[in-house]
Structure 1
């Protein structure tokens, strides 16, 4: 039963932080909307910052697991890039509260190098950069790609993915996915033309 209450506090806080921001959300509001008392909230968490940190860690653990589950053995290296773009669009469409929570609340915390947000953003960038670099280098070596300079293209592709996420999460609700346009753009930019 206690685990259910803790989960309810976290899911309620995720929604509140995403919709109205960390600073505009109180522990009393979280408790009330989660259907628990404020003392019970403090039984599970030291305060709002600890709730936020646990949410961020949980989101990133799920995200890292999804990245690890991307197929490593594909017919082409471009298929891996395609899968990476689709994963991010899928996340934005199916987990919008989590994405908005990060985009709306983490930037102000990035000035503090020891904050969980900074550590997670650094780790996320490292994972994606390594993934894209490996795809581009293998694709260049096999003759599938004509992708030079690799490090510059990795940064451009990372910006493209992050930009699509921001547009999907913070822009007006649109039925446009951008998925096919982003994938086609990357294909035209890196796949070797015969």
Structure 2
């Protein structure tokens, strides 16, 4: 009973932390802000999280869990490599989920000062790249793709996605969502030897 309540309270605090961070950013969020928004004392906050850094890292992981679940569904899907690549590109497109991308971009920046957050963002980045690499590898194995180095291709595709996300969400109106989507689809198609219409 107590453990169940504790787990529920911890998830409530993480959800509130995400809401505060989305408004104020990682760097401007104080533990007192999260405690006030949650209607609890800072002592209770630190009962669940030993440090602010741990709280921030876990809040980011909590916010990103839905994205990871979606990647997991693509990873386990019985669809063809082409269909899975199309789904992953759509999910990770810089034009999708503006609020989610703002948190990601802010998390990358804060990761230079927060080792726990850096470890979390790195783990999630690596996972996404590995899923993409495995999709490309399976596509090459069954003859759907032509790619000599799936790992290098996964790096280039995600580097483009991440870079364009920064341009789209930080430098407003410098590039359109439609143009960003076309650039990502074109690059991904070229990396695996497909025509653009297939992605």
TM-score (ref. length: structure 2): 0.70
Shift of 1:88: 1.7
Judging changes above 3 Å, is the alpha-carbon distance between structure 1 residues 62 and 93 closer, same or farther for their aligned structure 2 residues?
A: closer
1:2 and 1:134 map into 2 onto residues whose CA distance is 38
| 1:56 aligns with one of 54, 57, 60 | 60
Judging changes above 3 Å, is the alpha-carbon distance between structure 1 residues 172 and 12 closer, same or farther for their aligned structure 2 residues?
A: farther
Q: How many residues align?
A: 188
| Contact 2:129 2:155 survives alignment (8 Å) | yes
* Partner deviation per Cα, 1:23-45 (whole Å, 9 max, x = no partner): 32222222333344444444544
Q: What is the RMSD computed on CA atoms of the aligned residues?
A: 3.5
2:16 and 2:35 map into 1 onto residues whose CA distance is 8
2:123 and 2:153 map into 1 onto residues whose CA distance is 19
2:148 and 2:51 map into 1 onto residues whose CA distance is 48
1:4 and 1:186 map into 2 onto residues whose CA distance is 41
| 1:16 aligns with one of 13, 20, 36 | 20
2:46 and 2:31 map into 1 onto residues whose CA distance is 9
What residue is the counterpart of 1:31 in the other structure?
Answer: 35
2:19 and 2:97 map into 1 onto residues whose CA distance is 15
Judging changes above 3 Å, is the alpha-carbon distance between structure 1 residues 64 and 170 closer, same or farther for their aligned structure 2 residues?
A: same
1:133 and 1:81 map into 2 onto residues whose CA distance is 10
Give SS of 2:92's match. helix
Judging changes above 3 Å, is the alpha-carbon distance between structure 1 residues 135 and 49 closer, same or farther for their aligned structure 2 residues?
A: closer
1:164 and 1:60 map into 2 onto residues whose CA distance is 19
Shift of 1:84: 0.8
What residue is the counterpart of 2:185 in the other structure?
Answer: 183
Judging changes above 3 Å, is the alpha-carbon distance between structure 1 residues 151 and 7 closer, same or farther for their aligned structure 2 residues?
A: closer
What residue is the counterpart of 2:141 in the other structure?
Answer: 141
Judging changes above 3 Å, is the alpha-carbon distance between structure 1 residues 24 and 87 closer, same or farther for their aligned structure 2 residues?
A: same
2:149 and 2:43 map into 1 onto residues whose CA distance is 56
Structure scoring higher RCO (CA < 8 A, sep ≥ 6) equals 1
1:172 paired with 2:172, answer yes
* Unaligned 5+ runs, structure 2: none
Judging changes above 3 Å, is the alpha-carbon distance between structure 1 residues 64 and 38 closer, same or farther for their aligned structure 2 residues?
A: same
1:150 and 1:42 map into 2 onto residues whose CA distance is 44
* Partner deviation per Cα, 1:21-69 (whole Å, 9 max, x = no partner): 3332222222333344444444544453332132123234433322111
